[in-house]
A and B are shown apart, each in its own frame.
Chain A
Amino acid sequence: MNTAKSYTATRNACKMCTPLGAALVFHGIEGAIPLLHGSQGCSTYMRRYLISHFKEPVDIASSNFSEETAIFGGGANLKLAIENIIRQYSPGMIGIATTCLSETIGDDVPMILSGMDQGEGRTDLVHVSTPSYTGTHMDGFHHAVRAVTAYCNPLGSRIRHKPKPRKRINLFPGMLSNEDLRHLKEIFEDLDTKLILLPDYSERLEGPSWVEYHAIQKGGTPIRDIRDMSLSDASMELGALLAGLSQKGEKTAGTILKERFDIPLVSPGIPIGVKATDSFFSALEEITLKPVPEKYKRQRGRLIDAYVDGNKYVSKKKAVVYGEEDFVTAMAGFLAEIGIIPVLCASGGRSGLLKQALTQILPQNIRDQVHVHQGMDFTQMEEAAKKLSPDFAIGNSKGYTLSRNLKIPLVRTGFPIHDRVGGARILHIGYRGTQQLFDTIVNTLLGNRQDISTVGYAYM
């Protein structure tokens, strides 16, 4: 594996900041409003960024620090912000994420919150610590999921023993697209199994026009469902990295439920590709005790058939894969499965687990052709990619400059996608999502072959 030149500054980062991930999670909870404790600019920036991908209303409140607040502490601002949000929006939950400003001055948010007289006390106030000088948006995302799960399922909360006609599963999907989340819900419906999916922003961040006005858009995981997580039969967390983190002893939503309530936890990778989706469905079979429905077997069959038909177009092609570490791992696994060599796997994240996760997922025979870089920005990526002559790049819109400079096509997946429509409607997971990715990749390569050909062949 090669060593890329290291730089002090980051040029064109391949990561966003922690509170953004947390704000997204709170949009996946019914009736919740995210509140960033810090400068108002953070809320505005993250709103506009999420909106540019989802093309939907995204509301993020702020405690609007002034210079004075920065000096004397943000307690009063935070309380006032909470009161005003409750008055205007009557939310079920306010998710408070601390920005680098409130983290640097060391505001003790749990203490401020515990000192609040909430009156009727209908609004849950959940705090998640997200200083943007640690980790990436992905860490903010996981930490928010963990904070909400821990808050709603406190240790010692009474375990009710009710007769359970149906199995009930907690699923922590990670940062997937709306279409991915809808697909997961469909799978559980087909398995006739109760699903508690956290977060689920698939409706709230892709709703229809309103017949009547909504202060907070409809959709999201009901808070009462999150409270019932302690009663579920099993939990599932998607993402090879997430699994690695929990193995390292870092707490995740799943490990907290396991520790507190002894709920079994399974942690497959994100189901992209046949192998990963097979493991996902096997794990589902195991925890739901339901056989994989015929529908998915047929999807699998069609996918394998398409692999066979399209192999000639993709075999031994080389790809640059970038984005969140979990996403990169899953995508690289899929590419390798169809004969594409993910010559450069890069992420702005620095969990220290990417290399190991890829080693596990990639077949031995191509591992020495794969260059893995954590903490990498797009400029370094471009330098590294130049030497590897890739055929295409796959990842979010921010790779456009790289693909333009290297004159290779870009297959847009993941987040953020703000130079194409429908970014949130891309299906990446399951046999059906893999099928769509496969078709898109093949067609992109074919299209590129036509574009660069001096003769206009229509029959490829």
Chain B
Amino acid sequence: MSTTIKDPGTIKPADMDLPDPETIKKELLARYPAKVARKRSNQIIVNQKDEDGAFPEIGANVRTVPGIITQRGCSYAGCKGVILGPTRDIVNITHGPIGCGFYSWLTRRNQTRPPTEADDNFMTYCFSTDMQDKDIVFGGEKKLKAAIQEAYDIFKPKAISIFSTCPVGLIGDDVHAVAREMKEKLGINVFGFSCEGYRGVSQSAGHHIANNGIFTHVVGKNDTIKEADFKINLLGEYNIGGDGFEIDRILAECGISIVSTFSGNSTYDQFANAHTADLNTVMCHRSINYVADMMEIKYGIPWIKINFIGAAATAKSLRKIAQYFDDPKLSKKVEEVIEKEMPEIEMVRDEVKKRCGGKLAMLFVGGSRAHHYQELFKEIGMKTVSAGYEFAHRDDYEGREVIPGIKVDADSRNIEELSVEKDGEKYNPRKTEKEMDTLKTKGFEFKDYKGMMEDMEKGALIIDDVSQYETELLLKLYKPDIYCAGIKEKYAIQKSGIPMKQLHSYDSGGPYAGFRGAVNFYNEIDRMVNSKIWGYLKAPWQISPELSAKYGWE
């Protein structure tokens, strides 16, 4: 017997006439020169299916026009900051001038929990070769080697990785050759990443470079099979604000065991052991779907898309994992956990919904968050009127079926695609074709992601790589009740009197994933959209000017 999650109920539409999205689009494009306007026009889409049920093609993963102030970061940021940042026991050395290392020094609020004090944790460190002009002129390989030797001598880590910044590629330092040499010399794993900031169009390129590197250099190095019943990998979960801890808690209660997380609260050994899991679950499709594909081809591990953002989505994801393992005990346990967790969630949700229902949200963030977080807003009756990703690709908007038709431009061609084959020894299909087919006929979907557009209302405005300038116009035109993005947008938005929630670093809050996370998020949004502070923006004498002209005795 499964517990169904009560529908939050229909919300009385707020007394609002939303502006016409086509008109808004025109206004957004008005100040751009013709060429820029044409380009941006492909990236600003009014959500609507055509007769064949297809969504309009969106321009995504295309280079930002110079001079447009973008939310995007660079390839190095995606590689070192996002993917390898949350791993605690690899010494990550930035090869370059000091800035890149400094700015990526534990700024994403990834949390980690070493089991004991004796376990390695290098996350609070920022290692850099701090290149000086003489290194630029004469080459930095010698300094890099010395830095690796030094890191080894001091820390004796399991692995050392090297991240290339812009000048490294230009002066021709071969970080991979250095890595090979030092690997041989030291007898530990040393690997490099060519993640110079000018490669690719955004941090997404860096995610790809990082994940390819981990797949090539680490995954499959440790064949120990964990003693557990239901073993999964959690791909694309970065443990911001402790999200991963909450997901770990829920999975543990259900009796599902995590072999490795890519890459929240992760370790080198987890990566090395990842190929022993029996299912890959993909949280952030953008940053890691290709790793799931490669692990399926090479090791025979099927993958499914899951989402732990939102209480209903969490329950659905747990059920999907249980259905995959097809074990009555597991299904029963999953239902028990959901049943135990839901009452509190429903109580808070219904209470918050009274105050938040009918309000408007906008989300411009990430490669999956702008989609996933709409779930949480829906649960408290809020409507997402406009959304978009910072660095996602077309499939994250339109769904995976568009992948074969995606044009590969010069920027994407520079990012290496690995060609992967069945591993002679380690390939082991976790399900027979027949078992897979049986699941499919029951409606179970493997490697499926329908994208953001499918879940958004008709007429919603979808904007890829929104700029600072467009953001400010959108606020004026839509007057949303809350706007979600990152720290760079935060303060300009709040200056306009609109609360702004950071969904990169969570504004020092979180977790927002899983069941307890949902409760945290409902309360947080309630605090923000119903805050009284906005009422103080004007002093009393500004509201009624005659006050200032009167004295007490008058």
Contacts and interface: CB of A to CB of B under 8 A. Distances in A.
A40 B72 contact: yes
Given A9-B151, A132-B97, A134-B133, A101 B197 contact: yes
**B74, B75, B107, B143 pick with most chain A CB within 10 angstroms:** B74
Interface string B477-516: 0000000001110111011110000000000000000000
Given A8-B147, A57-B492, A40 B64 contact: yes
Given A57-B491, A85-B67, A7 B125 contact: no
B167 A104 contact: yes
B331 to A, nearest CB: 44
A299 interface: no
B100 A81 contact: no
Given A45-B77, A59-B468, A209 B497 contact: yes
Interface string A59-99: 11111111111100000011011111101110000000001
Nearest to A375: B130
A245 interface: no
B327 to A, nearest CB: 46
B96 A100 contact: yes
Contacts of B93: 9
Given A12-B125, A84-B33, A68 B410 contact: yes
B128 A41 contact: no
Interface in B13-67: 31-33, 36, 63-67
A42 B96 CA distance: 13
Interface in B101-130: 101-105, 107, 124-130
Contact of B103 (A40, A46, A84, A87): A46
B107 A52 contact: yes
A9 B68 CA distance: 35
Nearest to A136: B98
**A44, A67, A77, A81 pick with most chain B CB within 10 angstroms:** A44
Contacts of B549: none
A80 B65 contact: yes
A61 B69 contact: yes
A270 interface: no
Contacts of B488: 44, 47-48, 51, 58
A9 B130 contact: yes
Contacts of B486: 48
Interface stretch (A14-22, A275-283, A352-360): A14-22
A67 B198 contact: yes
Contact of B99 (A11, A59, A65, A132): A132
Interface string A31-43: 0000100111111
Nearest to B93: A9
**A10, A16, A77, A213 pick with most chain B CB within 10 angstroms:** A10
Contact of A52 (B143, B169, B487): B487
A41 B73 contact: yes
A401 B125 CA distance: 9
A127 B63 CA distance: 25
**B66, B70, B124 pick with most chain A CB within 10 angstroms:** B66
A207 interface: yes
Contacts, number: 231
A167 B471 CA distance: 44
B132 interface: yes
A99 B96 CA distance: 12
Contacts of B532: none
Nearest to B145: A8
Contact of B198 (A39, A134, A209, A401): A39
Contacts of B294: none
B131 interface: yes
A281 B10 CA distance: 69
A40 B73 contact: yes
A67 B411 contact: yes
Contacts of B181: none
Interface string A203-219: 00001011001010100
A325 B495 CA distance: 35
B165 interface: yes
B337 interface: no
A163 B490 CA distance: 47
B303 to A, nearest CB: 30
A49 B385 CA distance: 30
B135 interface: yes
A16 B102 contact: yes
A396 to B, nearest CB: 12
A48 B476 contact: no
Contacts of A84: 32-33, 36, 65-68
Given A9-B150, A40-B73, A105-B170, A19 B33 contact: no
Contacts of B494: 209
**A15, A213, A215 pick with most chain B CB within 10 angstroms:** A213
A45 B495 contact: no
B197 A35 contact: no
Contact of A88 (B107, B150, B469): B469
Contact of B107 (A48, A60, A62): A48
Contact of B166 (A51, A62, A70): A70
Interface residues of B, number: 79
A15 B102 CA distance: 8
B204 interface: no
B71 A20 contact: no
A306 to B, nearest CB: 34
A35 B167 CA distance: 19
Contact of A101 (B73, B132, B166, B497): B166
A55 interface: yes
A13 interface: yes
A61 B67 CA distance: 5
Contact of A10 (B128, B166, B169, B171): B128
A250 interface: no
Contacts of A273: none
A217 B495 CA distance: 10
B467 to A, nearest CB: 8
B5 interface: no
Contacts of B171: 104
B98 A13 contact: yes
B297 interface: no
Nearest to B143: A8
B67 A80 contact: yes
A348 B203 CA distance: 29
A131 interface: yes
Interface in A183-234: 207, 209-210, 213, 215, 217
Nearest to A39: B197
A68 B411 CA distance: 9
Contacts of B33: 83-84, 87
A379 B147 CA distance: 14
B495 A42 contact: no
Nearest to B496: A210
B537 interface: yes
B339 interface: no
A56 interface: yes
25 contacts: A8-B129, A8-B150, A9-B150, A11-B125, A12-B105, A13-B101, A16-B102, A17-B97, A38-B197, A40-B70, A41-B77, A47-B488, A51-B490, A52-B487, A61-B67, A61-B68, A62-B69, A64-B66, A70-B169, A78-B66, A100-B96, A101-B197, A104-B167, A132-B99, A133-B136
6 tightest A-B CB contacts, nearest first? A41-B74, A17-B99, A84-B67, A81-B67, A39-B197, A81-B66
Given A55-B491, A66-B198, A80-B66, 14 more contacts: A7-B150, A11-B128, A13-B101, A13-B126, A17-B99, A48-B103, A69-B198, A83-B33, A88-B31, A88-B68, A100-B167, A104-B170, A136-B98, A209-B537
